Structure 1
Amino acid sequence: MCNAPSDAEARRAIKPVICYPTDTLPEPDMAVYEAARIGAEVVDTVIVPPREAASFTAPAGQFFRITSVEGPQVGDLNLWHANDLSERFFSGKTRALHGTHVTTDDRLWSNLPHMRPMATVTHDTLGWYGIDQYGGSVHDVIGTRCDPYTHNLLSGGQYHHCCHSNLTRALSDHSGLSLAEAEPHVHDVLNVFMCTGFTRDTGQYFMKASPVRPGDYIEFFAEIDLLGALSACPGGDCSSEHSSDSAACYPLQIDILRPAAGTLDRWHAPAVNGYDRSHGR
């Protein structure tokens, strides 16, 4: 390790600056969503089996709710534009705008060049958790998803129920794409219900037992027509490992809710990003 310079403490003491101040970011009209949520009816329900994934669709202007059922379970969520797989959830920019974990009022943003809200978090029964003494919080956009390649690198063997593989199979089954064609569309996730953070001594990504319990849910408003895939992680509540055939795993439930007619008259789906894409030429 290199010796510290004489002004090391002064360098460390420089105050941080927020990279992307959100003062000018358009805020979601939560009152409109609340009004639309009253009287909304469940029009579809999808059960995600343990250690598997399932797909769902949520048209623009509807809600989708992910609920813990039977036992503590975390899930890995991918989102795409229902009619264009090239537009997908951008966890990195969502993290840059809203922080390492999301909750009510935060939005899930799509990738460049689209960069618009895909979904808005309207309810989160784990919003009370906040940030714990270890720096952990719930619903992260920092982890990538457990995958069979990292598993092979670290542990050897061929494990097929990592969330990456689960999501690949789910997208393939829904779209008719082959596994090889579907896999490149699988992307970094929203880790639903997962409790994570970074260690303060080494800066390593950590997980701990999720505080989720049966009946807890996170609910979103679909800003555009969405195709989603959700994997019930093979780590269960991720209290010990996240690629496991021994961890207790449980199903997750996805409900699609349709608001009553007329309740969204004030709402308009967001347009794609306004940058002209000339890139200085």
Structure 2
Amino acid sequence: MGREPSDAEARRTAPPVICYPPETLPAPDLSVYARALEDARVVDRVRVPPRDAATFRVPAGHLFRIVSVEGPQVGDLNLWAADDLSERFYSGKTRALHGTHVSTGDQLWSCFPHLRPMATIVADSLDWYGIDGDGGSVHDVIGTRCDPYTAQLLSGAQYHHCCHSNLTRALAAEMGVSVAEAEPHVHDVLNVFMCTGFTRDTGQYFMKASPVRPGDALTLWAEIDVLGALSACPGGDCGQAHSSDMAHCHPLDVEILAPSKEVPGWAPPARNGYDGSHGA
């Protein structure tokens, strides 16, 4: 262990600087989305079974709503551009721009070189939760997704219903390809409804029982044509177990909603304007 220098306290108390000041981000006009949501109608509904995943497609300028049904349940969300799987949700950059947890007004950004909003959160029935006394909050972009490789590493378990596995099988079925071909496209997720944070003493990622209840929903506006996949996590509300057949699990619904009329002032976002002609 290194010897503490005489100016250690001064070094520790250097003021924090926000890396990406949010006031420089283009701010979505939430009133536009609110008006579209008022009279939008459900045109499709996908039921995601417990400990499984399902895919769905949302045209640009439509909404999709992830709904808790029957009991408290968290879900792992992947998003891709519907016509190009190489453009996918970038949880790390979304975290850098919006923080560790997202809610109304935050956007889900795609990977390089596209770096544009894929979806905007327009309503969140759990936005009342805030940050609790443990430092926990809801809808995180810090967890990667439960996966069979980490389960094998930590416990020697051959578990086949981790969210990574569920998402991989669902994407393979959607695209008509093998699981091996689909797996590289599965990526770090938005943990919908999951309550998480970092412990203050060790900095470890923790989960606790989600506050979600039947009827709670997260509603997003599709900024581009998206293909989505949602896994109903085998941890249930993640209050006790992770990747377990012992947890009480419930289905989730994904509702696709169409606005009743054209939304004035909205257009799909262009891909990022960075000129890479001189090299990335």
Give TM class, smaller chain.
over 0.9
Pairing 1:1-281 to 2, within 5 Å after superposition: 1-262=1-262, 264-280=263-279
AA paired with 1:257? L
Q: Aligned-pair distance for 1:265?
A: 2.6
Q: Distance between the aligned counterparts of 2:38 and 2:67, measured in 1? A: 18
- Identity, % of aligned positions: 72
Q: Quick one: which amino acid aligns to residue 131 of structure 1?
A: I
Instruction: Write the letter of the residue equivalent to 1:120.
Output: T
Q: In 1, Cα distance between the equivalents of 2:279 and 2:144?
A: 32
Structure 1 stretches lacking a partner, 5+ long: none
Equivalent-residue separation in structure 1 for 2:157 and 2:28 (angstroms): 46
| Alignment CA distance shift 1:280-1:53 (3 Å) | closer
Q: Distance in 2 between matches of 1:230 and 1:242?
A: 17
Deviation string 1:28-82 (CA, Å, 9 cap, x unpaired) is: 0111111111211100000000000000001000000001000000000000000
- The amino acid of 1:118's aligned partner reads M
What is the deviation of 1:101? 0.1
Aligned partners of 1:72, 1:81: CA distance in 2, in Å? Answer: 29
Deviations 1:126-168 (A, max 9, x none): 0000000010000000000000000000011311100000000
Give CA deviations for 1:99-131 in whole Å, capped at 9, x if unaligned: 000000000000000000000000000000000
| AA of the residue aligned to 1:253 | D
Taking the aligned partners of 1:61 and 1:197, their CA distance within structure 2 comes to 32
How far off its partner does 1:278 sit?
A: 2.0
CA deviation after TM superposition for structure 1 residue 12, in Å: 0.3
Number of corresponding residues: 280
Q: Aligned partners of 1:167, 1:159: CA distance in 2, in Å?
A: 14
> Cα 1:143–1:279, aligned 2, differ >3 Å: closer, same or farther?
farther
Aligned CA-pair RMSD: 0.9
Alpha-carbon deviation of 1:280? 4.7
Letter in 2 for 1:199: T
SS of the residue aligned with 2:128? helix
Residue aligned with 1:128, SS: coil
Report Cα offsets for 1:211-265 as digits up to 9, x if no partner.
Answer: 0000000000000000000000000000112110000000000000000123x13
Give TM-score, length-normalised by structure 1. Answer: 0.98
CA–CA distance in structure 2, aligned partners of residues 270 and 279 of structure 1: 24
Letter matched to residue 269 of structure 1: P
Following superposition, the deviation at residue 279 of structure 1 comes to 3.9
Instruction: Work out the CA distance in 1 between the residues paired with 2:157 and 2:25.
Output: 46
Q: 2:139 aligns to what SS in structure 1?
A: strand
Query: 1:24 & 1:158 partners in 2: Cα distance?
Result: 46
Residue 250 of structure 1 aligns to which amino acid in structure 2?
A: H
Q: Distance in 2 between matches of 1:16 and 1:164?
A: 35
- AA partner of residue 40 (structure 2): A
Give the Cα–Cα distance (whole angstroms) in 2 for the partners of residues 242 and 121 of structure 1: 26
